Structure 1
Amino acid sequence: MPVEINREAAEALSIEALSFLAGDPERLERFLSLSGLDPATIRLAASDPGFLAAVLEHFCSDESLLLAFSANTGRDPADVGKALRVLAAFDRDCEP
Structure 2
Amino acid sequence: MQQESAELIGLKVLGWLASDEDIFPVFLGASGIAANELKERAGEVEILCAVLDFVTMDDEWVQACARATGLDPHDPMRARQALPGGAQIHWT
**Structure 1 match to 2:14:** 18
67, 71, 74: which one aligns with 2:67: 71
- When you count helix as a share of all residues, which structure comes out higher? 1
| 3-state SS of 2:83 partner | helix
RMSD: 2.1
| 3-state SS of 2:84 partner | helix
Range 59-68 or range 72-81, more displaced: 72-81
Q: Which has the larger radius of gyration?
A: 1
| 3-state SS of 1:50 partner | helix
Runs of 5+ unmatched residues, structure 2: none
TM-score normalised according to structure 2 size:
0.80
**Structure 2 match to 1:27:** 23
CA shift in 2, pair 1:36/1:66, >3 Å: same
38, 53, 67: which one aligns with 2:49: 53
- Looking at structure 1, the residues matched to 44 and 22 of structure 2 have their Cα atoms a distance apart, in angstroms, of 24
| Deviation for aligned residue 1:56 | 0.6
- Looking at structure 2, the residues matched to 76 and 29 of structure 1 have their Cα atoms a distance apart, in angstroms, of 25
Range 44-53 or range 7-16, more displaced: 44-53
Q: What whole-Å deviation, never above 9, does each CA across 1:20-59 have from its counterpart, x for those lacking one?
A: 0111222211110111112232134436431111111111
Runs of 5+ unmatched residues, structure 1: none
Paired letter, 1:69: C
Q: Report the number of matched residues.
A: 87
- Looking at structure 2, the residues matched to 72 and 49 of structure 1 have their Cα atoms a distance apart, in angstroms, of 22
70, 81, 87: which one aligns with 2:83: 87
How many percent identity over aligned positions? 29
Paired letter, 2:71: R
